[in-house]
Amino acid sequence: MDTLVQHRRITVAGIETFYREAGRQDAPVLLLPHGYPCSSYEFRNLMPRLADRWRLIAPDFPGAGYSGTPDDFDYSFDGYAAWLEAFVDAVKVDRFALYLHDFGSPIGARLAIRTPRRIVALIIQNGDIPYEDALGPKYADIETTWTLPRPDMRKALAEAVSEEAFKEEFLNDLPPALADTIPPDLWKLHWPLVTPRRKEIAVDLIAGLKENRAWFPEHRKYLREYRPPTLIVWGPNDHYMPEKSARAYLRDLPDAELHLLGGGHWLLETHLDEVVALMREFLGRVHSA
């Protein structure tokens, strides 16, 4: 039973929160913040594969998945990081390894900076990197909107929040053979959850990438000063975060383990076996009972 994924609800900072959990309560913890435009659903296959030795916890952020969407929440990277800290406290976790993927990366990294003693190790998988010169070509499309007046910028970004855009986000830069392995459930299940309010939240968060650039030095400083044990697993077929994005982390984490696999942004869909094997070996050394 410990390896089965449990689906739970809890109130965190006044917000109804859905999360997935697997593993023994006394096992070493791996925290799994999700990316955009997904939810804890992205970890559904990973969790039972590691639950024999670790306790895996994957929450849905406010305004995503099956969690609530309160009007008075701070839907920014800082707001999500503060909420994630409250969530960790609510599920009574002290120290943990942290998986950083997509938008979960700047959120999780902020949590690490807030409470560095709690972070045992990092696993970075196609995370939003803090290196301006190593971003992929798709980020240029977002950057072009920054020159527009704010109403025009929001209008342009809102046009990119659609079911078809969700599909493109999940397929990204995959070659046809791998694209055929991506289940349409990813966009078909997540798009119906996007209410008008949630669409506004998505636009706010994407627009916030501009302000997030000012935070990059803090992220790099944390990596450089604390040097947490780090496993980097990367899918180079990623218009947002190609191979050079993965290698950029080695500037501040020269001892990190870097593994370039053959997939793209959503490695847990295309290369689960390889990722699990690498994680088991890494976590077995740095974060095991």
Q: Which of 33, 73, 78, 62 is nearest to 208 (CA)?
A: 78
Average pLDDT over residues 17-39: 97
Q: Is the pLDDT of residue 26 over 90?
A: yes
pLDDT by residue (tens digit) across 156-199? Answer: 999 989 999 999 999 999 999 999 999 999 999 999 999 999 99
Per-residue pLDDT tens digits for 229-266: 999 999 999 999 999 999 999 999 999 999 999 999 99
pLDDT at residue 1, rounded to an integer: 64
DSSP state of 105: H
Q: Which domains does the chain possess?
A: 6-136+214-286 (3.40.50.1820)
Q: Look at residues 66, 56, 98 and name the one whose alpha carbon lies nearest to residue 81.
A: 98
The rounded mean pLDDT for the chain is: 96
Average pLDDT over residues 122-132: 97
Burial of 4 (0-12, 13-18, 19+ CB in 10 A): exposed
Mean per-residue pLDDT, 42-51: 98
Cis bond upstream, residue 37 (ω within 30): yes
Whole-angstrom distance, CA of residue 86 vs CA of residue 153: 32
Which tokens in the block code for residue 71? 């009007």
Rounded mean pLDDT of 123-132? 97
pLDDT score recorded for residue 289: 83
% of residues, the chain, pLDDT over 70? 100
Decide if 259 contacts 150 (C-beta within 8 A): no
Residue 288 · residue 281 · CB < 8 Å:
no
Distance from the Cα of residue 2 to its chain's centroid: 24
